[in-house]
């Protein structure tokens, strides 16, 4: 009798554990979210949003630039780096002084030329859900349209980036190429709370809500079918658009293919023990494996993530009131992401990205006063409200392409990624490049994206 009871107990307990584990790991249905939530100020009872799209020009009074130069000209108290250290403790203060000198005495003196460059692509604004959204809308020329098929593309940046990352990439996307028959009509918005787009005025504006706004922007511009490409937050947001609105997405391409689900973590761990089964042999080192080294580096570099996920207004205020502090904070991220072979070199940023491009990006955060509102996005995405949606566990049927650059964050192997994107059509590993791929190597990203679109649109491989 005791044996029978014991067996019965074990069977019952085993069934319970199996059911609980299965519920914990299984795919989930798509949540239903309000696609017209209002995020602006002073919501009127019968508010009707304007639907016009107006041209926007980046233009700042010279007094603002002169005031910045005056701030940079003050006697700042730099703490000397430790002996025999470079960038191990953060952005080297001796290197920072050289950057500030260049910023003050050379870059800002040619600010009008930088404005002209930033305005070389057409900018617009329109109101979506109570927020004025800024976006670049770059179209192929009429001559190009006659030669190639034009496909709409939503291009999404992340932090501490901006639309500035995409300039060279956009030119490639809109010009004639011999690679295939497509060119792209590009919509590249400043994310809500970033750059020249308004910030939400109440809590709860997370990556799902950002996805809704970005999808509604594409509808406003006139596209109900479009491609999506993004890295960093742009990848998370793009994945959410593909999840919540698969009927609108022709394909989703990412250069940061992360997936944080219990099953994905288990699969990644298993793959780390037999990488030859999951990753081409020549890409073991520097990509997923050795896994411990990748995650050790990730944890070491994730301090900013914890600060911005918990106290974004504190760090935001510190950055907004001190342009040199803002520069050091952002420069350090670009320096780190030049990769382990370069990130201790004093000229790494200029070598990999060009210093003017990174200063353009810093100026966008400074001039738009968005250090705080951009940092808040981390806190919103670490909230129970967002995490309880479990969007990583909701499969999306859209065609998906993944470009993995060697020095980027640890990514999910295809075995795990297909749980989320069963229609994974292209997965590429590169032995170079890093997190800011569109800025660092736009041509390589462009070629990978074109290869994905060829597969996603069912075109035959070229001979």
Give catalytic residue positions: 232, 378, 435
Give the torsion sign (CA, 398, 434, 413, 393): negative
* 20 CB neighbour count, 10 Å cutoff: 10
**Would you put residue 457 in left (φ > 0), alpha (ψ -120 to 50) or beta?**
alpha
> Phi and psi dihedrals of 434, rounded to 5?
-145, -150
Cα–Cα distance measured from residue 316 to residue 246, given in angstroms and rounded to the nearest whole number:
35
Output DSSP code: residue 450: H
Question: Rounded to 10 degrees, what is the CA torsion of 206, 212, 217, 222?
Answer: 160
Strand arrangement, sheet containing 131-138: 53-56, 123-128, 131-138, 182-189, 149-156, 226-230, 249-254, 400-404, 424-429
- CA angle, residues 181, 184, 188, in degrees to nearest 5: 160
The dihedral built from the CA positions of residue 205, 206, 210 and 211, taken in this order, carries a sign that is negative
5 CB-near residues (< 8 Å, 6+ apart): none
């Amino acid at each position: 009798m005791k044996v029978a009871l014991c067996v019965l107990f074990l069977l019952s307990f085993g069934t319970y554990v199996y059911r609980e584990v299965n519920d914990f790991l299984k795919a989930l249905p798509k949540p239903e979210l309000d696609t017209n939530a209002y995020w602006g100020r002073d919501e009127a009872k019968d508010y009707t949003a304007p639907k016009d799209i107006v041209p926007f020009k980046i233009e700042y009074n010279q007094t603002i630039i002169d005031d910045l130069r005056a701030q940079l000209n003050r006697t700042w108290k730099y703490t000397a780096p430790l002996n025999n250290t470079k960038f191990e403790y953060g952005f080297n203060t001796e290197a920072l002084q050289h950057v500030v000198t260049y910023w003050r005495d050379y870059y800002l003196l040619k600010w009008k030329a930088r404005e002209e460059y930033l305005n070389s692509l057409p900018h617009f604004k329109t109101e979506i859900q109570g927020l004025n959204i800024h976006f670049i809308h770059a179209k192929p020329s009429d001559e190009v349209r006659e030669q190639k098929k034009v496909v709409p593309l939503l291009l999404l940046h992340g932090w501490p980036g901006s639309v500035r990352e995409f300039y060279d990439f956009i030119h490639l996307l809109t010009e004639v190429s011999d690679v295939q028959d497509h060119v792209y009509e590009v919509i590249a918005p400043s994310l809500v709370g970033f750059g020249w787009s308004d910030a939400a005025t109440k809590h709860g504006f997370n990556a799902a809500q950002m996805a809704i706004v970005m999808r509604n922007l594409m509808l406003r511009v006139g596209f109900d079918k479009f491609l999506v490409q993004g890295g960093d937050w742009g990848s998370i947001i793009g994945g959410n658009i593909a999840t919540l609105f698969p009927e609108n997405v022709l394909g989703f391409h990412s250069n940061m293919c992360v997936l944080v689900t219990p099953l994905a973590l288990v699969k990644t761990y298993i793959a780390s023990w037999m990488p030859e089964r999951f990753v081409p042999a020549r890409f073991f080192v520097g990509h997923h494996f050795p896994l411990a080294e990748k995650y050790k580096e990730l944890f070491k570099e994730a301090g900013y993530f914890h600060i911005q996920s918990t106290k974004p207004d504190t760090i935001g205020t510190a950055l907004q009131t001190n342009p040199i502090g803002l520069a050091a904070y952002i420069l350090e991220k670009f320096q780190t992401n030049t990769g382990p072979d370069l990130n201790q070199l004093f000229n790494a940023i200029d070598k990999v990205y060009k210093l003017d491009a990174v200063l353009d990006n810093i100026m966008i955060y400074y001039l738009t006063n968005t250090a705080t509102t951009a940092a808040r996005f981390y806190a919103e995405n670490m909230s129970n409200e967002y995490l309880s949606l479990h969007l990583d566990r909701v499969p999306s049927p859209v065609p998906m392409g993944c470009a993995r650059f060697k020095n980027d964050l640890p990514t999910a192997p295809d075995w795990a990624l297909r749980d989320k994107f069963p229609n994974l059509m292209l997965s590429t590993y590169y032995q170079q490049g890093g997190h800011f791929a569109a800025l660092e190597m736009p041509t390589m990203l462009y070629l990978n994206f074109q290869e994905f679109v060829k597969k996603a649109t069912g075109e035959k491989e070229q001979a």
